[in-house]
Structure 1
Amino acid sequence: MKALSDLHLFVRVAQASSLSEAARGMDMTPAAASAAIKRLEAELGVPLFVRSTRHLRLSAEGELFLDDCRTGLDILTQARDRLTTGHDQISGVVSFSMPSDLGRNVVLPWLHTFQARHPQIQIRLQVSDRVIDVVRNPVDLALRYGDPPDSSLVSLAVAPHNRRSLCAAPSYLARHGTPRTPHELAAHNCLCFMLSDRTHDHWTFMRGAEIAEVDVRGNFQCDDGDAVRLLALRGEGIIYKSTLDVAADLRSGALVRLCPDWQGEAAALNLICPGRRHLRPAMRLLHTFLVEQFGAISEPA
């Protein structure tokens, strides 16, 4: 169905503002993608994009066509899914974005099991702590901590009761001592995570009605959560990370939970997608699978 393929490509190019990036996402060469867009423009009789040597943006006609095109594709996708859902195998490609530490060390090993159960589903994976715009980029689902700032996005709960855990390696504690309250963190080297150029160095803890807010400092900051955790495992400092990220390390004793009578900040894990009408059966299967897998991770004592 070449016409439908051209429409899907048009939407991807509009989202990415890049012909080559959209072509990669659809396993096409840039030349083939360019030919498809020109074919679509010829059929419609209007230019859909304004091109220059460095930039590509929607024309006024392209902006008008984009919303109608998305609506039409959604209707056709839903119609196709109604036909295929009754079959034994649900198929399709799911573009899936997930954070660095959780993605590499927790979720990635599970995806082999998921694809063994559903061999007709292909996963296109993006592993990065960069916050991907799921509306402007060709991403179906993004695994994120916290609720999305944009209320138009759909948030599907995966691990709603997850919280942050304060922890360090036994080797660090042997050299520097163990803090008994969050306020003692001022005397320790705290390894901080950066997100969108903002350093997470203001840590909050709760004990009943009591709240402790601590500004921490350390000799290392990084925008990759996996790197921060690895430094903690080497005994370089104290980290304050999602319990899901460090659950295996706490169970093995590679990391030790600190200030256990204080509760860490909420860090609910959700799957984010552009809208409920975008949720295809393959995406729903992945959501159900992740809820099942994360539910099996019991919080370490």
Structure 2
Amino acid sequence: MIRLDDLSLFVRTAALGSFSNAAREADLLPGQVSAAIQRLERELDVRLFARSTRSLRLTAEGEQYLPYAREVLAMLSEGRERLRGEEDTLQGVLQIAAPSDLGRNVLLPWLSEFREAHPKLSLRLFLSDQLTDVFRDPVDIAIRYGAAENASYVALPLAEDNRRVLVASPDYLQRNGRPRTLDDLARHQCLLYALSGRVYDRWGFPVNGERRQVAVSGSLSCDDADVARRWAIDGYGIAYKSWIDVCGDVRAGRLELLLPEQPGEPVPLNLVCPHRKQFLPAIRRLHDVLKERITAYAGGLPLPVTTTDLS
């Protein structure tokens, strides 16, 4: 008979790529994880991992079996949550991944309040601008900018009309002048952002029904969106950021909108989760709370949306 603990260790070993990492996460010895995988292999009468002294990888049979193992564990988790009581008594652990700037400066107090309102619920927050894989990484949901492109997960909308905006500090504009057209950006210090080693130095804008890319440059770049916003506030250049990230700074006068007649690139905000997890009470309740808070916080996007705009 297949043990559920063995099945869970198989899924985590596949995600983490080694017995040692899976053992560390589960507070076990590597030998215990290896033994669990061997028991599972004997029950299934297949080899799930190809092992060597330097690597561990799934076999073809292991790749084929992995989604079924995930599905079984997800269904059992959903059933356990439903048996734990009514929705007003949220329990268990909810693991959330979010972008660095949004997580630190916008979501953090709302998530803290949510946890206070549900004392039997534990939250684990992971902040990074690297794209989280909600199937392989140890998270239940990810809060992401951008359109959903993978049909294997569910994207619950939080801010469908959100866009990027050009911003700079009053001090920077006083010293360097204000750009009047997109072409003027080439003559300004632009704050660049890097992800997975790629520097995004071509900013996209919807113009006349097409996506126009504008080449920009600057002496500062980073791989953390929060740093780019702070540099902009400190007067080091122009940033191209999500309106949700900077609307508080604009309203407080720390940043000013540039080219307000030019719509920025759409960046809808979604709560992403594996399809079965969307039904968990904690996720449904959190989605409702965040959508209401974000609508109130970032409502009134100050850029026009025209009939020639890109969606």
Cα displacement string for residues 58-107 of structure 1 (whole angstroms, at most 9, x for unaligned residues): 23443343233223223323332332353652212222111111111111
Moved more, 68-77 or 97-106: 68-77
Partner of residue 305, structure 2: none
SS at match of 1:289: helix
**Cα distance, 1:233 vs structure 2:** 1.3
Partner of residue 86, structure 1: 86
* Structure 1 residues 89 and 102: CA distance shift in structure 2, 3 A: same
Whether 1:241 and 2:241 are equivalent positions in the alignment is yes
SS at match of 1:178: coil
Partner of residue 197, structure 1: 197
SS at match of 2:272: strand
Whether 1:118 and 2:118 are equivalent positions in the alignment is yes
Partner of residue 276, structure 2: 277
AA in 2 matched with 1:278: K
SS at match of 1:296: helix
Partner of residue 128, structure 1: 128
Moved more, 155-164 or 67-76: 67-76
Q: CA RMSD in A?
A: 2.7
**TM-score scaled by length of structure 2:** 0.85
Measure, in 2, the Cα distance between the counterparts of 1:113 and 1:166: 31
AA in 2 matched with 1:132: T
Structure 1 residues 28-43: aligned runs within 5 Å: 28=28, 30=30, 32-41=32-41
Partner of residue 96, structure 1: 96
Measure, in 2, the Cα distance between the counterparts of 1:78 and 1:283: 11
For structure 2, the residue ranges without an aligned partner over 5 or more in a row are: 303-311
Measure, in 1, the Cα distance between the counterparts of 2:276 and 2:164: 32
Moved more, 20-29 or 139-148: 20-29
Measure, in 2, the Cα distance between the counterparts of 1:295 and 1:246: 14
* Structure 1 residues 24 and 143: CA distance shift in structure 2, 3 A: farther
* Structure 1 residues 228 and 24: CA distance shift in structure 2, 3 A: farther
How many residue pairs are counted as aligned between the two chains? 299
SS at match of 2:3: helix
**Cα distance, 1:267 vs structure 2:** 1.0
Measure, in 2, the Cα distance between the counterparts of 1:137 and 1:222: 24
Partner of residue 309, structure 2: none
The alignment-based identity, stated in percent, is 48
